[in-house]
Amino acid sequence: MAWVVLVVAGLLETVWAVALEASKGFSRLVPSAVFAVALVLSMGGLAYAMKSIPLGTGYAVWVGIGAIGTAVYGMAAMGDAATVARIGCLLLIVSGVVGLKVLH
């Protein structure tokens, strides 16, 4: 159960990162509200998961999911460059997260 919560919390990290950018410095109400709610839920999920998942593993998985999700969203929806090198770096993050889970 903790791993499922951690994955959802990591996905919510992507949501709050995207909402933060869309809020334009907290000058837009709806994205600012989405940011706040997603941030609280993401941190709450991380806190819950870390009750039974080691600190380093849990935090790395959470950050990895958020970073990968945000980067993929940027490439798919925001026109960020999707070069072979960038995708290769994202695959390195995925392999590190998987390695931490497997070696947990």
12 close to 45: Cβ distance less than 8 angstroms: yes
- Interval 5-37: pLDDT, tens: 999 999 999 999 999 999 999 999 999 999 999
Q: Please give the pLDDT value at position 103.
A: 80
Please give the mean pLDDT across all residues of the chain: 95
Predicted confidence at residue 3, as pLDDT, reads: 93
Specify the pLDDT at position 75.
96
CA–CA dist 71, 50 (Å, integer): 25
Residue 104 pLDDT greater than 80, yes or no: no
DSSP 3-state percent helix, strand, coil across the chain (nearest 5): 80, 0, 20
Q: How confident is the model at residue 97 (pLDDT cuts 50, 70, 90)?
A: confident
Alpha-carbon span 23 to 29, nearest angstrom: 7
Tokens for 75, please give them. 């490439």
